[in-house]
């Protein structure tokens, strides 16, 4: 793979190996990788737009933190970390303590940036009561109203069956 300059800045990730051996990436700047097949790929550690934490600390573009596959599966669903705490705060806090007690930069807090993908996947499995759920992507976003980070977790739920398409009643 080769590193490509996609603008005025080049890719310069800071990577950290977490306690479970997965790599987490932070604060990349405008880079991409072109694989052997010639396809352009997002790079963990890259912002997915021009606004970085350095240039826009309270309104930055999403940051690809981790991914399992080069492309997110088309049947993936997503959930934001702040919504999970709003939907069932007691369960969220209990599972945060169970899976992340004393782990990461923000011990006991809601910062997922320094927590491993396997622990986050276990947290999501317990939260949704779906042990076959597969975590496929983690993005750090910025809440545009508050400037605080929030995480988007993309996952595949093999037990999910999409609803049947509705018939178009306007067709004649």
Tokens, residue 141: 């976003």
Write down the domain spans for the chain: 2-156
For the stretch 74-89, pLDDT in tens is 899 999 999 999 999 9
Contact, 136 vs 117, CB < 8 A?
Answer: no
Tokens, residue 62: 């999403």
Query: What percent of the chain has a predicted confidence (pLDDT) above 70?
Result: 68
> Which of 86, 122, 90 is CA-nearest to residue 103?
122
Contact, 85 vs 109, CB < 8 A?
Answer: no
pTM of the predicted protein model? 0.73
């Amino acid at each position: 793979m080769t590193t490509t300059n996609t603008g005025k800045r080049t890719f310069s990730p800071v990577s950290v190996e977490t306690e479970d051996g997965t790599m987490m990436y932070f604060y990349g700047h405008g880079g991409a990788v072109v694989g052997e097949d010639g396809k352009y790929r997002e790079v963990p550690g890259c912002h997915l737009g021009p606004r970085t934490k350095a240039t826009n600390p309270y309104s930055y573009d999403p940051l690809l933190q981790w991914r399992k596959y080069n492309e997110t599966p088309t049947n993936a669903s997503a959930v934001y970390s702040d919504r999970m705490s709003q939907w069932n705060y007691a369960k969220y806090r209990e599972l945060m303590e169970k899976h992340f007690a004393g782990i990461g930069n923000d011990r006991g807090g809601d910062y997922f940036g320094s927590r491993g993908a396997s622990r986050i996947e276990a947290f999501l499995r317990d939260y949704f009561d779906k042990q076959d759920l597969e975590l496929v992507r983690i993005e750090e976003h910025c809440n545009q109203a508050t400037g605080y980070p929030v995480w988007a977790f993309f996952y595949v739920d093999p037990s999910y069956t999409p609803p049947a398409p509705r018939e178009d009643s306007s067709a004649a």
